């Protein structure tokens, strides 16, 4: 085949690349970029030689993986359905059967008055946040700039760089409760939230992850209802990031009631169910917001991946998804979480100055190393050189008002990997912490 | 399960929703949004009752669909590989094995000096353009606003709304060659392109689709080399949208040499191979640009869908993809294209005032209805009421300088659907055109 290829001058110096403001904000290094690089490469290599307690990759749970394989065989056994899944674009809002099944489930389970017009699929939960944050906040048609309030920080690393304007987030520090010799818990500081809402007319939305990534906190029903009321009283949407929550993947260890009303934007995802490779997120919101998300999907991506939706639709319709969650996913992570907490208790010396956040859900222990002098990034580098990946706490402190020095004494430790990796990783974390202190 | 649900006040009036500038640009109605809605719903319904000559959905070609089903069975037969594909995030740049296979193929086939550092996967080609356009053009750190030059318009409908600033595109009208009683062809008007480049320091990049969507034009090797030289001489990247081009899906009916150099940004996609449901696009660019795309993917979406890459990797490595293209995809669309051209010749009366653009590639006939008084949207509405979907030409005319009145006499007609649908749809288009003229 003919081709055009000539000797070329040396590429322009990278310094000379002229990137836009969008590029300056989104195309550089970021915490989430580093994390996903580390995670992807560690796991693409089969996890050999590295204890991957870093990223938020879900576990491969045998009964759950069996279910995905069975569903793919079922799809393959129906060539017309399989071919349609591969070769036909869904509407930008999502697959109509999937949307109907999701809406029916939410109506039946929680009594929420939603139908497909309240839903929109996105290419993973991360993309839902990119679209929603920039839909609501940032530069406004009147020239003002609006922001997103995070009522309980540290918050999810993946939000930090998503804003298309500077100074995108307003971060509220938590009220810290010391619950034991080596345990603590964050609570929403409502006085501070109310003050921020009252004093800052630029707030466009309130956003909280529940369970909280990175801390494993699950804000209480009362906290959630109170946040919803505060947001609503100011005409602001409350965005609830339910990536780890109820009804799926359901990685919540105590009781927690989900909440939705037309002033709530709830996001769900198939990733932590074990399907991150399908990139499937779901937004539940008032119809104007859901329609806006669908419109943005068309323009920025044409349509969504079809495969996660095709796998899940009959499992939602039949209720099988609830059994997968209750019988396999929740027990699996409950056991892992206990194992991780026990490993911490076993490997950190009794007199060590550390605290573990209340472990109420998600895949993570959030460990506060109060004697850490070197900062969480340097500490994580030292751990990396010993073969353990964790995420430095400082990446979860962003936005104006956040407590960087507190977060910089913390690390996020995933317990989704196999038992030995988790135990061994935590042993090395404890060792390195003690070694750091005696230096 | 407990839940929180209370009687609610009526939702705010949609008019009162405060959307940002981003929302105002991306969250409203768009040509591509309408097209994808129509396409998705027509095909989700199994295509019953509607002749879908509208969107760009690829055909389901039996030998090709067989290959995807076989690959999925192979993946399913290796549970570890299948589980990894579903449950493990790839690095944001893409799957390392896929990137290596792609780079090796481009080196072997075309001699381009590329490795994985020149590549980045995106969630479909559309997303590649959203990221690339806004990386290069739009609001700059110094406060100026830069734009993208489209050297040969009409151009792809999907670009029209992707800019995050107003007046994002500069459109150059084509030189029109009349090649027969009912045939014409667009050529690049280089005098106009040079004038625009010389007179407008705000141009940040040049972009052309090849084959061109919507026209089926394939700009010549000489035109491409000349555009590349012009862009490079001004230090601008030339973006070449290869969604329908060589090496895959290869829907090009004559000879055409691909081009790449470090000042070219080439995009490919798995969609028109028959895998749009996997949302897989590929950017080939200098390492600084590819790294920027990977960074933007991490922030806006964490990672890409894994499934299209997993299906394709061994087919690229073995060369089987070339045989699929040469033995099945190209012959299929060549036959369809001939059938469509014949249907036009058969159903439009000899004296009818219509012209068909040179049909050199892609899935479309671009038909210029010179006697159309009602405009392409009204005409498409009339066709819709007769059960035929086409895309009104006016949606492909955007950007400053474009020829809206010319494009508004044109329609884009897909020939990817089954023979009877294509023939019958074209018959109804001819009938409706004649009926419109006698009104």
Answer whether residue A6 shows pLDDT above 60: no
Question: Is residue A72 in some structural domain?
Answer: no
Predicted structure pTM score: 0.95
Q: B137 and A221: CB-CB below 8 Å?
A: no
Q: How far does the CA of residue A248 sit from the closest CA of chain B (Å)?
A: 13
B386/B164 Cα distance (integer angstroms):
37
User: Given the structure tokens 């929403």, which residue do they identify?
Assistant: A188
Could you say which of B298, B323, B348 is where a domain stops? B323
Which residues of chain B make contact with A289, given a CB cutoff of 8 A? 17
Question: Is residue B15 in some structural domain?
Answer: no
Let me know whether A315 and A359 are in one domain. Answer: no
Could you say which of B289, B323, B357 is where a domain stops? B323
Q: How far does the CA of residue A437 sit from the closest CA of chain B (Å)?
A: 34
- Please list the pLDDT of chain B residue by residue as tens digits (439 residues): 334 333 333 334 434 578 999 999 999 999 999 888 888 777 766 656 789 999 899 999 999 999 999 999 999 999 999 999 999 999 999 999 999 999 999 999 999 999 999 999 999 999 999 999 999 999 999 999 999 999 999 999 999 999 999 999 999 999 999 999 999 999 999 999 999 999 999 999 999 999 999 999 999 999 999 999 999 999 999 999 999 999 999 999 999 999 999 999 999 999 999 999 999 999 999 999 999 999 999 999 999 999 999 999 999 999 999 999 999 999 999 999 999 999 999 999 989 999 999 999 999 999 999 999 999 999 999 999 999 999 999 999 999 999 999 999 999 999 999 999 999 999 999 999 999 877 6
Let me know whether A104 and A208 are in one domain. Answer: yes
pLDDT of residue B55: 87
Which residues of chain B make contact with A1, given a CB cutoff of 8 A? 109-110, 246, 257
Least Cα distance to B276 among B60, B73, B96 occurs for B60
Average pLDDT over residues A107-133: 98
Question: Is residue A13 in some structural domain?
Answer: no
Interface with A, mutate which of B8, B33, B65, B330 (most A CBs under 10 A) = B33
Let me know whether A181 and A234 are in one domain. Answer: yes
Let me know whether A215 and A294 are in one domain. Answer: yes
Average pLDDT over residues A136-148: 96
Let me know whether A332 and A410 are in one domain. Answer: yes
What's the pLDDT tens digit per position in A13-48?
Answer: 434 578 999 999 999 999 999 888 888 777 766 656
pLDDT of residue A114: 98
Beta bridge partners of residue B269, listed in sequence order: B281
Answer whether residue A3 shows pLDDT above 70: no
**Burial letters for B200-210: b for 16+ Cβ neighbours within 10 Å, e otherwise?**
eeebbbbbbbb
Let me know whether A245 and A269 are in one domain. Answer: yes
Q: Which tokens is B391 given?
A: 């895309």
Answer whether residue A89 shows pLDDT above 80: yes
Q: Is B55 on the interface with A (CB under 8 A)?
A: yes
Question: Is residue B123 in some structural domain?
Answer: yes
* Burial class for A74, CB neighbours closer than 10 Å (0-12, 13-18, 19+): middle
Least Cα distance to B278 among A280, A249, A334, A163 occurs for A280
Considering CB atoms only, which of A2, A39, A90 is closest to B89? A39
Q: What is the CATH number of the domain that holds A424?
A: 3.90.1150.10
Q: Which tokens is B43 given?
A: 């095909």
pLDDT band at A8 (very low <50, low <70, confident <90, very high): very low
Q: A20 and B135: CB-CB below 8 Å?
A: yes
Q: Is B162 on the interface with A (CB under 8 A)?
A: yes
Question: Is residue A83 in some structural domain?
Answer: no
**Burial letters for B219-247: b for 16+ Cβ neighbours within 10 Å, e otherwise?**
bbbebbebbbebbbeeebbbbbbbbbbbb
Q: Is B62 on the interface with A (CB under 8 A)?
A: no
Could you say which of B323, B341, B356 is where a domain stops? B323
Q: B301 and A286: CB-CB below 8 Å?
A: no
pLDDT of residue B383: 97
pLDDT of residue A9: 37
Answer whether residue A179 shows pLDDT above 50: yes
Question: Is residue B76 in some structural domain?
Answer: no
Q: Is A346 on the interface with B (CB under 8 A)?
A: no
pLDDT of residue B16: 55
Interface with B, mutate which of A9, A16, A22 (most B CBs under 10 A) = A22
Return the higher-pLDDT residue of A122 and A36. A122
Let me know whether A186 and A44 are in one domain. Answer: no
**Burial letters for A21-30: b for 16+ Cβ neighbours within 10 Å, e otherwise?**
bbbebbbeeb
Answer whether residue A375 shows pLDDT above 80: yes
Let me know whether B233 and B337 are in one domain. Answer: no
Residue pair B280/B308 in contact (Cβ under 8 Å)? The answer is yes
Q: Is B213 on the interface with A (CB under 8 A)?
A: no
Let me know whether B305 and B332 are in one domain. Answer: no
Least Cα distance to A254 among A245, A262, A263 occurs for A245
pLDDT of residue A48: 65
Residue pair B53/B421 in contact (Cβ under 8 Å)? The answer is yes
Let me know whether B208 and B242 are in one domain. Answer: yes
Q: What is the CATH number of the domain that holds B197?
A: 3.40.640.10
Which residues of chain A make contact with B275, given a CB cutoff of 8 A? 86-87
**Total domain count, chain A:** 2
A114/A284 Cα distance (integer angstroms):
8
Query: A47 lies in which domain range?
Result: 19-64+324-438
Complex ipTM: 0.95
Answer whether residue A118 shows pLDDT above 90: yes
Question: Is residue B302 in some structural domain?
Answer: yes
pLDDT of residue A47: 56
Chain B residue with minimum CA distance to A19 = B136
Interface with A, mutate which of B40, B302, B325, B330 (most A CBs under 10 A) = B302
Answer whether residue A344 shows pLDDT above 80: yes
B300/A130 Cα distance (integer angstroms):
6
Question: Is residue A77 in some structural domain?
Answer: no
Let me know whether A26 and A148 are in one domain. Answer: no
Let me know whether A406 and A274 are in one domain. Answer: no
With a CB cutoff of 8 Å and minimum separation 6, the contacts of A241 are: A125, A129, A156, A207, A208, A209, A210, A213, A267
What's the pLDDT tens digit per position in A201-212?
Answer: 999 999 999 999
Which residues of chain A make contact with B137, given a CB cutoff of 8 A? 20
């Amino acid at each position: 085949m003919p081709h055009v290829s000539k000797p070329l001058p040396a590429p322009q110096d990278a310094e000379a690349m002229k990137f836009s403001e969008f590029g300056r904000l989104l195309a550089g290094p970021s915490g989430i970029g580093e994390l996903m690089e580390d995670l992807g490469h560690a796991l693409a290599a089969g996890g050999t030689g590295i204890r991957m307690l870093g990223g938020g990759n879900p576990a491969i749970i045998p009964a759950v993986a069996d279910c995905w394989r069975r569903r793919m065989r079922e799809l393959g056994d129906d060539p017309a359905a399989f071919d349609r899944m591969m070769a036909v674009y869904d509407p930008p809002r999502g697959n109509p059967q999937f949307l109907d099944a999701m809406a029916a489930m939410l109506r039946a389970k929680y009594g929420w008055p939603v139908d497909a017009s309240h839903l929109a699929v996105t290419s993973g939960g991360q993309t839902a946040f990119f679209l929603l944050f920039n839909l609501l906040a940032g530069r406004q048609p009147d020239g003002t700039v609006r922001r997103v309030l995070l009522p309980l920080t540290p918050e999810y690393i993946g939000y930090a760089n998503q804003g298309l304007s500077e100074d995108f987030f307003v971060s509220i520090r938590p009220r810290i409760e010391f619950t034991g010799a080596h345990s603590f818990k964050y609570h929403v500081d409502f006085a501070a939230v109310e003050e921020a809402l009252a004093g800052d007319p630029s707030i466009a939305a309130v956003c909280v992850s529940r369970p909280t990534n990175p801390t494993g906190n699950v804000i209480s029903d009362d906290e959630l209802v109170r946040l919803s009321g505060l947001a609503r009283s100011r005409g602001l949407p409350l965005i609830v990031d339910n990536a780890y929550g109820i009804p799926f993947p359901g990685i919540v260890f105590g009781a927690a009631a989900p909440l939705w009303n037309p002033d709530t934007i709830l996001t769900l995802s198939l990733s932590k169910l074990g399907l991150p490779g399908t990139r499937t997120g779901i937004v539940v919101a008032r119809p104007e917001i859901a329609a806006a998300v669908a419109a943005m999907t068309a323009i920025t991506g044409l349509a969504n991946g079809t495969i996660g939706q095709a796998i899940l639709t009959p499992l939602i319709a039949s209720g099988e998804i609830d059994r997968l969650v209750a019988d396999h996913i929740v027990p699996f992570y409950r056991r892992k979480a206990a194992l991780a907490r026990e490993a911490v208790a076993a490997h950190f010396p009794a007199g060590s100055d550390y605290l573990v956040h209340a472990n109420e859900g998600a895949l993570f222990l959030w460990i506060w190393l109060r004697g850490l002098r070197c900062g969480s990034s340097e500490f994580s580098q030292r751990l990396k050189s010993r073969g353990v990946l964790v995420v430095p706490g400082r990446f979860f402190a962003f936005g104006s008002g956040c407590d960087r020095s507190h977060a910089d004494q913390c690390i996020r430790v995933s317990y989704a990997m196999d038992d030995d990796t988790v135990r061994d990783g935590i042993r090395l974390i404890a060792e390195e912490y003690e070694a750091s202190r005696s230096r």
